[in-house]
Amino acid sequence: MTASLRKPAHEHGAPRPVRSLRLVAQQEGLLQIHTAPFRGSFGGVFSQALRAAGLGSRVLISQFLKGGVEQGLERSLWLCGRLQWLRPDVPGCLERAPADDQERLAVQEVWQFSREQLLGGGVDLMVLDELGLAVQLGYLEAQEVSECLEQRPSHLDVILTGPSMPAELMAMADQVTQLRRGG
């Protein structure tokens, strides 16, 4: 048997085989802000989060200043098997600067868990309720929150809600919705 001495087709002027380059586009996540001059006005955002979980997305809702159910990380609520709802382990809602270290630590526990999920890409949608107010009241550091949001994975959708939003966060937002009282 003799070995073939033919040259490859592309050396005879034939076109070179084209390698298929497959590009997969990943949707860019948004940083949305929903704000209003009053608390408790974001039922639509929570409905959106529940709908997303029902459709298969991994969702985390972190409410930083809503208490009263003494929940904490250990007793977070799960809905649709994919939505984790987390509140601080405090006996009531927080409406002022921290009265004691227990309140501050409870809010910071919610933030640390949320931060880990945010940076680790553990969820598809994250709702951070009253994050800006938690910063304004001194429960969380503004610079740490801003840096964390800047470092989030590009595919992750984040929605910030609440009556107070620091200017740095407003400047980072892809979309801002401001609700007004009807009158």
- Name the stretches of the chain with pLDDT < 70: 1-27, 39-41, 182-183
By CB neighbour count within 10 A (0-12 exposed, 13-18 middle, 19+ buried), where does 69 fall? middle
Quick one: pLDDT at residue 4? Answer: 46
Phi, psi of 145, rounded to the nearest 5 degrees: -60, -45
By CB neighbour count within 10 A (0-12 exposed, 13-18 middle, 19+ buried), where does 6 fall? exposed
Task: Please name which of 163, 169, 147, 166 lies closest in space to residue 31, comparing C-alpha atoms.
Answer: 169
Quick one: pLDDT at residue 156? Answer: 93
pLDDT in tens, 1-34: 444 445 555 555 555 555 555 554 456 789 999 9
Q: What token pair was written down for 142?
A: 């503004």
Give the residue carrying structure tokens 């407003």.
Answer: 170
Quick one: pLDDT at residue 24? Answer: 47
Domains contained in the chain, CATH given = 37-178 (3.40.50.300)
Q: What token pair was written down for 14?
A: 């034939």
Report the alpha-carbon distance of residue 118 to residue 124 in Å, rounded.
9
Quick one: pLDDT at residue 69? Answer: 76
In three-state secondary structure terms, 150 is: helix
Q: What token pair was written down for 36?
A: 């209003």
Helix axis angle, 101-120 to 142-150, nearest 10°: 10
Q: What token pair was written down for 92?
A: 């009531």
Task: Please name which of 28, 79, 77 lies closest in space to residue 58, comparing C-alpha atoms.
Answer: 79
**Is 162:39 a contact under the CB 8 Å cutoff?**
yes
In three-state secondary structure terms, 161 is: strand
In three-state secondary structure terms, 14 is: coil
Quick one: pLDDT at residue 17? Answer: 53
